[in-house]
Amino acid sequence: MTSKPNIYPFMRYQDAPAAIEFLCNVFGFEKHEVYEGPDGTIAHAQLNLGPGMIMLGSARVAANGEGTRDIERVEQGIYLAVDDIKSHYERAKATGAEIVRELATTDYGSEEYAAVDCEGFYWSFGTYHPVVEGA
């Protein structure tokens, strides 16, 4: 088994340039690659947080003319393990993240909090690092 990541979350944002700035300024991501599309859109972007990476781009309209998702419904989220959870939480709170679950200790010993980003995506941050056997 390889130690190289093989899962890369990908999201589409209505305003991807604003989302990139939010994710970098509020949650501490760093721009790895950003490929601009037409009319101020983002064709593809890769952002790092420590050794992890997410990918994102501008939302696209479906063939039937409808949007790609309902921003008002959040049915899944992304969890990121961070080393200094208290500082991460304080930064997110101070820079405008909507905190939806305050920093607390879970039943399994992780320190965690959750926030939504500028378009309603659910992000959970904590000290728990899942271990993949054989990795």
Select from 69, 70, 88 the least CA-distant residue to 127.
Answer: 88
Residue 66: burial class (beta carbons within 10 Å; 0-12, 13-18, 19+): exposed
Q: Which residues contact 102 (CB under 8 A, 6 or more apart)?
A: 113
The residue extents of the domains of the chain are 10-68+76-126
pLDDT band, residue 120 (cuts 50/70/90): confident
pLDDT tens by residue, 59-110: 876 555 555 545 445 457 899 999 899 999 999 999 989 999 999 999 888 9
**What average pLDDT does the chain have?**
85
Q: What confidence score (pLDDT) does residue 67 get? A: 52
CA separation for the pair 67, 59 (Å, rounded): 8
Architecture of domain 10-68+76-126: Roll (3.10)
Structure tokens at 49: 């947080």
Asked if residue 35 lies in contact with residue 46, where contact means CB atoms within 8 angstroms, the answer is no
Helix (H/G/I), strand (E/B), else coil: 112: strand
CB 10 within 8 A of CB 55: yes
Residue 23 has what pLDDT? 97
Look up the pTM and report it. Answer: 0.79
For the ranges 48-52, 92-96, 130-134, the lowest mean pLDDT is seen at 130-134
DSSP letter at 39 equals: G
Instruction: Check whether 44 has a pLDDT greater than 80.
Output: yes
Taking the alpha carbons of 120, 96, 93, 79 in that order, is the dihedral positive or negative?
A: positive
